A and B are shown apart, each in its own frame.
Chain A
C-alpha cells in the first residue's frame, strides 16, 4: 500500500514540475497592475450588486399585473382559512364520535368518526398547500409588511413549525392506525385523537395572533425577541377571535360533512347507503346547529372587544360603511337557522311516520317566531329609501320600525332564534317517544313554564335596553339575555335526557326516507356557512381600512382603499364558489378508493330488495310523496 503511494507520489511530482515550467512567471509589479485593472473593472459591478441588494431591500410592494396583488392574496387567504377551518373543526367531532362509539359499543359511531377523518386527511394536504402559496405570495407581494411581522413574531414562527410537524405526525398515526388500534389499543388511539385536537387548537391560535395583531397591535419596543412576540400575541382581540374561530370551525366542519352526506345520500344506490348517509347528514346538521347556538355570543364578545379597543374601528364595522355587511350577515344567519330547522322538521315528518299532524302546529309557531325575529334582525337602522320615501318618513329612520335597527333589538331576536332552534332539537329528540316516568308531566310543565319565562325575560331585557345607558345594556342586559338562554339549554338537555332514558318508543325512527330536498338543504346550509365566513372574514380584514397594522404601519400600496361593497360581495361569492369546487374535488378524490374497493358485480350477493313502498331518494322522495 505504502509502496504504491510512494510510486504515485513520484509520478505526480514529475507532472507538477513539467507544469511549473510552462506557467509564465509573474512579476510583483505586473500583479499590482492587474489588480488595479480588475478592481477598476469590477468596482462598478460591486456597486451595482450593492444597489440591487439595497433595491431589493427597499421594495415595499410587488404587484401581479392584470389581477392585482390584493385580489390574489384575498382569494388564496380565504381559501386557506376555509380549508383550515374545516381541517381544525372536523377532528373535534370526529374524536367525540369515536368516544361515543367506544363508550356505547356502537360500531356505527366508530365508522362515522373514521369517515369524518377520511375527509380530514384528504383536505389536510390541500390546506397546507394553500398555506404555502399564501406565505410565498405574502413574502413576494408585501415584503415590507412581512419583514415587520417576521421581526416581531419570529419566535412564534418556530413554534408554529414544530406544532405543524407534531400535528402531521399525529394525524398520520391517528388515521393509518385506526384499524390497527382497535380493541385493547383503542384507548391509545383515543389519546392520539386528543393530542390531534390539542395541536390543532394551538395551530389555530398561533396564526390568529399574527392576524389579530394587525387589527389590534400591542407593540413593545424593549425586551427580548420572545418578550416582544409574547406581548404582540396577547393583543386585545386574540382570545375573542380564538373562541369565535374555534366554534365557527365546528360549525363549518359539521355543515360541510352534512353536505357531503347529503350528496352521498342523493347518489346512494342501495337502501343501506341511504340509511347511512341519512344518519350522517343528521349528525352533520346536529353538529352544525350545536356549534351555531353559542356562535352569536362569541361574535358579540369579539365585536365588543373591537369597539372597546378602538372606537373608530368599531364604528367602521357597525355604523360606518361596513355596517351593511351586517345586514347581509343577518340574512345569511337567518337562512342558516331556517335551513337547519327545516332539516329538523323534515326529519320529524319523514323519519317518524305519523308525526306530521302532531307536530304541525308547534312547527308553524316556531317558524312564525323565527321569521318575525329574522325580519327584525334584517331591518337596517338607516333604511334604503328614495327621496320621496325619506321625506314621508322624516329621514331614513322610520319612526316605528327604526327601533329595530339598534343592537338591543338585534341581540333580543338573536337570542330568541337560538332558543327556538334549541327547542326544535328538543322536539326532534322527543318525537316518537312516550315518557313513562311518573314525574314526566311535572317536568314537562316546568320546562314549558321555564321556556315561556325565558322568552319573556329576553324580550323585557331587550326593550328595557333602550332606556338605559349603553354600558349598562352591554355589560348587564345583553349578558343576562345570553345567560338566560344558556340556562334553558343547560337545564333542558339533561332533563330531557333523563326523561328519554325511561321513555318508550311509540314510533320507530326510519332512516333513509328523507326526500331529495333534505339533501339539498344540507348542501345549502354548507354554502351559507361558507358565504358567511367569507363575508365576515372580509369585514374583519377591511375594518383595518388603510392600515396593514392598525395605527402602526400604513398601507402605502396602490390598493390602500376599501373596495365598494358590491365588488367585495362579488369576491365573497367567487371565494365561496372556488371553495365549493375545491371541497367537491377533494371529496371526490377521497371517495375514489371506496369505489375501487367495491366488490365486482358478478361476485356480489343478491342485492337487498328495497322495502315495499320505498322509493329511491333520487327518484322523488318518500312513499308518502308518491301516495
Chain B
C-alpha cells in the first residue's frame, strides 16, 4: 500500500480505530459527533498536504480519477469497481433509512448547560464574609442537602447520582463552578431545574428549587463551602487580597 491515497485511507482507518476502540479503553467512549469532527480534520490534513504540489496531487487524485473513469480497471479491479458502484448507493440508502426510520431514542441534543441568569441575579455578591466558621457551616449544610447527589468529594458522585440523567455537576472539574460567579450558583440553587430559562431547553435538571426550603443565608454559605471543598475559586473581576 503506497501512494498518498493509500496512506490517507490507512490514516483515516487508524484514526477511527484509535478514537472508537482504543481511547475508550482508558476513558469514556467519544460521541459520534466528535469522532466525525476529528476524522474530517484528518481527511482535510491529508488533502491539504497531498495537494501542495503537482506531483503529489496527481498521485492523490490519479487513482480516484482512474477508478471513476474505469481507465485500466480490468480483472479483479474492474469487478471491485462495479461492486463499489452497486454497494455505495445501497450504503447511502441504508444510512438515509436509519436516519429517518422512527426510533424510540431521543435525538442528539446540544443542551445549553450554562444559560444566562435573569437580571435580578446579575452582579449579586456573597453578603457573608469568607470566615472559617461560615465556610464550615456551608460545608455542613452541603453535606446535609447537596452531597447525596453532588458527592461528599464534590465530584458529582453522590449515592443518589446514578439515578439521574444528566448526572449532577462535578464541582471539582475546572469547567463547572470555577467558570461561574457566585451569583450564578445562587440563582441555580435557589430556583433549581424548574427555574431554568427558555434557552436551557430541554430543561433537563433534577435540581430542587431550594428557595422553598433554605433561607438565602444558608444558600450563600453552601456556595462558600462548595468552592472551598472542591478546591476552586469563583469567577470574580477583582483579585482576592
Which positions in A face B, CB cutoff 8 Å?
Answer: 308, 310-313, 315-316, 319-321, 323-324, 338, 342, 345-346, 349-350, 356, 363-364, 367-368, 371, 374-375, 378-379, 381-403, 405-408, 466-472, 475, 515, 517, 545, 551, 562, 621-622, 624-627
Q: Closest CB of chain A to B184's CB: distance in Å?
A: 7
Instruction: Note all chain B residues with C-beta closer than 8 A to A405.
Output: 175
- Closest approach, in angstroms, between the C-beta of B175 and any C-beta of chain A? 5
Contacts A403-B174, A405-B175, A472-B239 given: A319-B30 contact, CB under 8 Å?
no
Given contacts A315-B114, A319-B116, 8 further A-B contacts (CB under 8 A): A342-B48, A356-B52, A371-B44, A379-B37, A381-B175, A397-B175, A403-B175, A624-B55
**Residue of A315, A316, A379, A626 contacting most chain B CB atoms (<10 Å):** A315
Interface residue tally of chain B, by bracket?
A: 35 or more
Cβ–Cβ contact B109 & A312, under 8 A: no
CB of A367 within 8 A of CB of B114, answer no
Whether the pair B235, A349 counts as a contact (CB closer than 8 A) is no
B110 touches A324 (CB 8 A): yes
CB distance from A553 to the nearest CB of B (A): 15
Instruction: State the Cβ distance, B198 to closest chain A Cβ, in Å.
Output: 9
Q: List 25 A-B contacts (CB under 8 A).
A: A311-B117, A312-B119, A323-B112, A368-B45, A371-B41, A378-B37, A379-B34, A381-B175, A383-B33, A387-B105, A388-B105, A390-B166, A393-B31, A397-B170, A397-B173, A398-B27, A398-B28, A400-B26, A402-B175, A408-B174, A469-B239, A470-B236, A624-B53, A625-B55, A625-B57
Q: Is B153 an interface residue, CB under 8 A from the partner?
A: no
Asked if B233 and A394 make an inter-chain contact with CB atoms under 8 angstroms apart, the answer reads no
Most chain B CB inside 10 Å of its own CB: which residue of A313, A378, A469: A469
Indicate whether B165 reaches chain A with its CB closer than 8 angstroms.
Answer: yes
- Do B106 and A387 have beta carbons less than 8 Å apart? yes
Whether B31 pairs with A384 at a CB distance below 8 angstroms is yes
Contact between A389 and B32, CB atoms less than 8 A apart: yes
Identify which of A312, A345, A395, A408 contacts B122 (C-beta below 8 A).
A312
Judge whether A396 and B115 touch: CB under 8 Å. Answer: no
A471 touches B33 (CB 8 A): no
B147 within 8 A of A: no
Asked if B97 is at the interface of the complex by the 8 Å CB criterion, the answer is no
In the complex, the answer to whether A320 meets B54 with C-beta atoms within 8 Å is no
Contacts of A408 in B (CB 8 A): 174
Q: How far is the CA of A118 from the CA of B127 in the complex (A)?
A: 62
B124 to chain A, nearest CB (A): 10
**Which residues in B have their C-beta under 8 angstroms from that of A394?**
28, 167
Q: List the 4 shortest-distance A-B pairs measured between CB atoms, nearest first.
A: A625-B54, A469-B233, A319-B114, A385-B31
A312: chain B residues within 8 A (beta carbon): 116-119, 122
User: Would you call B66 an interface residue if the criterion is a C-beta within 8 Å of the partner chain's C-beta atoms?
Assistant: no
Min C-beta distance of A43 to chain B, whole Å: 49
| Contact residues in B for A475 (Cβ distance below 8 Å) | 239
A319 close to B179 (CB less than 8 A) = yes
Within 8 A of A (CB), among B101-131: 105-119, 122-123
B36 vs chain A, min Cβ distance (A)? 10
The answer to whether B123 touches A311, judged by C-beta atoms less than 8 angstroms apart, is yes
User: How far is B236's CA from A488's CA once the two chains are assembled, in angstroms?
Assistant: 31
Tell me if A386 and B105 are in contact (CB < 8 A): yes
User: CB-nearest residue of chain A relative to B239?
Assistant: A471
Whether B175 pairs with A321 at a CB distance below 8 angstroms is no
**Residue pair B110, A401 in contact (C-beta under 8 Å):** no
Q: Which residue of A lies closest to B169 (CB)?
A: A395
- B55 A389 Cβ-Cβ under 8 A: no
A551: B residues at CB distance < 8 A: 119
Given that A402-B175, A515-B54 are known contacts, is A392 also in contact with B113, CB under 8 Å in the complex?
no
- Give every chain B residue within 8 A of A624 (Cβ-Cβ): 53-55
Taking the closest CB of chain B, its distance from the CB of A199, in whole angstroms, is 37
Question: Considering only CB atoms, which chain B residue lies closest to A363 in the complex?
Answer: B52
Is B109 in contact with A384, judged by CB distance below 8 angstroms?
yes
B38 contacts the other chain (CB 8 A): yes
Q: Considering only CB atoms, which chain A residue lies closest to B28 in the complex?
A: A393
> What residue in chain A is nearest B51 (Cβ atoms)?
A517
Which of B58, B118, B178 neighbours the largest number of chain A CB atoms within 10 Å of its CB?
B178
Q: Does B241 contact A (CB under 8 A)?
A: no
Cβ contacts under 8 Å, A625 to chain B: 54-55, 57-58
In whole angstroms, what is the CA distance A319 to B110 when docked? 12
CB distance from B24 to the nearest CB of A (A): 8
Chain B residues with Cβ under 8 A from A626's Cβ? 54
Tell me the minimal C-beta distance from B168 to chain A in angstroms: 9
Decide: A400 near B27, CB < 8 A? Known: A321-B199, A342-B48, A367-B45: yes
Query: B199–A386 contact, CB under 8 A?
Result: no
Max chain B CB contacts within 10 Å: which of A346, A379, A389?
A389
Among A346, A383, A407, A627, which residue has the most Cβ atoms of chain B within 10 A?
A383
Q: How far is the CB of A305 from chain B (nearest CB, A)?
A: 11
With a cutoff of 8 Å between Cβ atoms, the chain A residues found around residue B55 in the complex are 356, 624-625, 627
Q: A349–B53 contact, CB under 8 A?
A: yes
Q: Are A382 and B237 in contact (CB under 8 A)?
A: no
